[in-house]
Amino acid sequence: MTVLIVGGSGFLGTKLVRQASAAGYFTAATYATSPGSVAEATWYNLDLRDECRVEEVVASLAPCLIINASSGSTDWEVTAEGPIRLAVTAAKHNCRLVHVSSDAVFSGTRVHYDESCLPDPLSPYGAAKATAETGIRLLAPDAAIARTSLIIGGIQSEHVRLVHDLATGCRTVSLFTDDIRCPVHVGDLAAALLELASTDARGVHHLAGPDAVSRHGLGVLIAQRDGLDASRLPEGLRVATALPGALDVRLDCRATQVKLRTRLRGVHEFL
């Protein structure tokens, strides 16, 4: 069975590639700038803005499963339109598609969001992710969409790198005490995505940890784990800035969690 991990050189993608390879799948993975570090995978350069290249890679591999773990940040063509191109191609070649989305699709007005809640994004990134979700559900209705939150692991995680930089004085930005999310461990998320992919689940699913913490609270936990001085982490209020996006978004994952053997641990357990 061939598995294609789109965005395989990224933080989550690397973990997916390793777990898929360890599970015995023939694993192919894509990258935008340079191949990833997992030697067991076969690597392909792929720009999701290039419709012909998307078709070429999928047609040549004929994968049974595609997991889209790519991240184009606020690049609309990559983050919004790219997954839709991938969905069209997956449907054309009868490939199972699992797409990784984000809690950024929500405004935070409700605070608690389950899988039935409709997107109401406040940021360009959230709008791009919401657009991708809508296109995928229309064009590949059998696909599974997995919304997640802050992905944490080792120093490869951008959130962990930021804490290290702040604690050592390399950066001076503030960690917000009013910006609250439900972090998930990268290993748990990768395992849950592969398990979800092995089922016939379709539509939207939530995969995040059960513990809600602020960005600053998360930073303190990371600093304590890694032996850093947490008192050096600057505090701030996001509400006092002009940054777009929600303040408090907590993904309710109970409906998805009961269907999975993989347990999504809370941040207070894995940090």
- Please compute the mean of the pLDDT values over residues 90-108 and round it to a whole number: 98
Structural tokens at position 204? 């939207």
255, β-bridge pairs: none
pLDDT of residue 219: 98
Sign of CA dihedral 175, 74, 107, 5: negative
Going by DSSP bridges, is the β-strand pair 203-206/42-45 parallel, antiparallel, or unpaired? unpaired
Cβ atoms of residues 249 and 147 within 8 Å: no
In DSSP notation, 117-159 reads PPP---SHHHHHHHHHHHHHHHH-TT-EEEEE--EE-STTSHH
Cα separation of 112 and 8, whole Å? Answer: 31
First to last CA, the chain: 35
pLDDT tens-digit map of 26-84 = 999 999 999 999 999 999 999 999 999 999 999 999 999 999 999 878 899 999 999 99
pLDDT tens-digit map of 103-148 = 999 999 999 999 999 999 999 999 999 999 999 999 999 999 999 9
